[in-house]
Structure 1
Amino acid sequence: MYQVIKMYGDFEPWWFIEGWEEDITDKLVFENYEDAVLAFQKEWTDLASRFPKEESKGGMMTAFWDEADQYWCEECDEYLQRYHSLLLLEAKEDSKKKDLAPRVRPCKLKKGNCVNY
């Protein structure tokens, strides 16, 4: 099973910061990879036409953004960029959602403590 996931949040999708699921705005589920790739490509084309900035990692994770789409983070004491993200993931049918710790703000991440850095 495969999922095409759309997200809107203040970090790029490849970080998979705890609580990343909170930023999901849409999820499409497919039984076969080919159908999932077609849906991903369609969504990618739509987002690319609407946002001037784009960065991809691993081929199937892309963040799109407009530099004007930022918000003030009181906790961070700075403006944070918002991203429209698109992912294609293979879904494990037996995976269960576990209780998650409070989400860490991107501005609080430190290079030495981040497993994805």
Structure 2
Amino acid sequence: MYHVLLTEGPDEPWWFFENWEEQVVEGYTFRTFAQAKAKYIDWYGELEEKYPHVKTKDPYMAAFWQEGEYYYCEECSDDLQCYHGLLILDTRQDKVEPRQKRLCPMREKEEGEN
């Protein structure tokens, strides 16, 4: 099965941090890759029109954003860039492992400075 997922949050979709699934806001499941790819391309076009910035990784992972749209991080009490992620997930292969523990980027910076 192939899943085309739209995520929204402080992380680009390729990080797969712990609990990354909580950032999924919409998704579709398809039996064939061709169907999933068609939905991905359609959704990509819609997001590209709406958001001025895009970064892609691998053939079917993309992050869209616009300056000034932020996600509030309670852990660090700061605003982080909000990303709208788009990806195709192939559940026939384990593409989401290993999951990484999510640590606020601001806390990572502080810990690295010590």
Q: TM-score range with shorter-chain normalisation?
A: 0.7 to 0.9
Per-residue CA distance 1:16-63 (angstroms, 9 max, x = gap): 110100010111000001010000000000000000000000011100
Q: Given residue 104 of structure 2, which amino acid in structure 1 is its aligned partner?
A: R
1-structure distance, mates of 2:12, 2:71? 15
Gaps of 5+ in 1: 111-117
Q: CA RMSD for the aligned pairs?
A: 2.3
Partner of residue 55, structure 2: 55
Partner of residue 107, structure 2: 108
Task: Select between 71-80 and 24-33 the one with higher mean Cα deviation.
Answer: 71-80
Does the 8 Å contact 2:9/2:71 carry over to 1?
no
2-structure distance, mates of 1:31, 1:90? 10
TM-score (norm 1): 0.78
Task: Select between 74-83 and 6-15 the one with higher mean Cα deviation.
Answer: 74-83
Q: Which runs of 4+ in 1 moved over 3 A?
A: 106-110
Partner of residue 27, structure 2: 27
Task: Select between 49-58 and 69-78 the one with higher mean Cα deviation.
Answer: 69-78
What does 1:12-91 align with in structure 2 at a 5 Å threshold? 12-91=12-91
Q: 1:30 to 1:71 in 2, by over 3 A?
A: closer
1-structure distance, mates of 2:60, 2:30? 15
TM-score (norm 2): 0.80
Corresponding residue SS for 2:25? strand
Aligned length: 105
